[in-house]
C-alpha cells in the first residue's frame, strides 16, 4: 500500500548546499523528515521554522520537554509529530510505555506521573483547551517550575501546536520509523 501524498510536494534530492547543510545539522546523517522537506520549499517558512526551534538545551529536562511536546501533539491529533518524537526521544527521556500511552489516552491526574508532571500536563491541556492558564493552574505550575521553565512550557505548546497545524493541514504521511498512536 502506498503512502498518501502531502498536499504540498516535498523537496526532492539533490538539495541546494544550504538546505543540505540545514538537514545534515538537524538530522545528523538520517534522511530529512517529510515535514522538513515540505517546509523547506518555502524559504520564508523554513527560515521562521528553524528560528523557532526549541530542541536545544533549554531550562527543561529532556523528559519534561518531551512530555510537553507529546501531549501537545496528541491533543492536536498530530500523530505525525507525536510519532517522530516518541521514536526519537522517548527512550532517552525515560518515558515508559505506560507514560507514552498516557500522553495520548491519559489524564493529567494519572498515577504514572509525578506531581510536577501532573502540573505540566494540566498546563498543556489548559493551553490547548483555553489558550490560557487559570490562576490555580499557574500556581500549580509555579510550585514545580521557575519562570524560565514556565516560559519554555508555554513556548513549546505554541510551537508544537504550529507544527501540528503544519503536519495535519498539509496531510503529511507518517514517517516509516515513527511511533503510532496507541489504540
Domains and CATH numbers, the chain: 17-51 (no CATH), 62-169 (1.20.1290.10)
Q: What value does the CA radius of gyration of the chain take, rounded to a whole number of Å?
A: 17
Mean pLDDT over residues 13-38, rounded? 93
Range with the largest mean pLDDT of 18-22, 47-51, 124-128 = 124-128
Statement: residue 1 has pLDDT above 60: no
Q: Which residues contact 152 (CB under 8 A, 6 or more apart)?
A: 54, 58, 59, 60, 65
Mean pLDDT score across all residues of the chain: 94
Statement: residue 152 has pLDDT above 90: yes
pLDDT bracket for residue 109 (50, 70, 90): very high
Q: Please tell me the total number of residues recorded for the chain in this structure.
A: 183
pLDDT bracket for residue 2 (50, 70, 90): low
Burial class (CB in 10 A: 0-12, 13-18, 19+), 168: middle
Mean pLDDT over residues 130-154, rounded? 97
Helices (runs of H) and strands (runs of E) counted in the chain: 9, 0
Please give the model's pTM, rounded to 2 decimal places.
Answer: 0.92
**Burial per residue of 12-49, b for 16 or more beta-carbon CB atoms within 10 angstroms, e otherwise:** eeebeeebeebbeeeeeeeebbbbbbbbbeeeeebeeb
CB 81, CB 178: distance < 8 Å: no
For residue 51, the model assigns a pLDDT of 82
For residue 49, the model assigns a pLDDT of 87
Rounded CA-CA distance 105/100 in Å is: 9
For residue 57, the model assigns a pLDDT of 80
Amino acid at each position: 500500500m502506498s503512502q498518501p501524498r502531502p498536499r504540498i510536494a516535498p523537496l526532492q534530492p539533490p538539495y541546494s548546499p544550504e538546505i543540505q547543510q540545514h538537514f545534515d545539522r538537524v538530522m545528523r546523517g538520517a534522511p530529512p523528515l517529510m515535514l522538513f522537506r515540505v517546509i523547506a520549499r518555502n524559504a520564508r517558512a523554513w527560515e521562521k521554522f528553524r528560528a523557532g526551534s526549541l530542541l536545544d538545551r533549554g531550562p527543561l529536562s529532556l523528559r519534561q520537554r518531551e512530555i510537553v511536546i507529546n501531549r501537545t501533539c496528541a491533543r492536536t491529533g498530530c500523530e505525525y509529530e507525536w510519532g517522530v518524537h516518541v521514536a526519537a526521544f522517548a527512550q532517552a527521556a525515560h518515558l515508559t510505555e505506560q507514560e507514552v500511552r498516557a500522553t495520548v489516552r491519559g489524564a493529567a491526574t494519572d498515577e504514572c506521573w509525578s506531581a510536577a508532571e501532573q502540573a505540566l500536563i494540566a498546563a498543556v491541556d489548559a493551553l490547548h483547551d483555553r489558550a490560557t492558564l487559570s490562576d490555580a493552574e499557574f500556581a500549580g505550575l509555579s510550585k514545580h517550575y521557575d519562570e524560565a521553565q514556565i516560559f519554555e512550557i508555554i513556548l513549546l505548546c505554541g510551537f508544537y501546536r504550529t507544527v501540528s497545524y503544519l503536519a495535519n493541514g498539509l496531510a503529511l504521511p507518517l514517517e516509516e520509523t515513527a511511533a503510532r498512536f496507541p489504540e
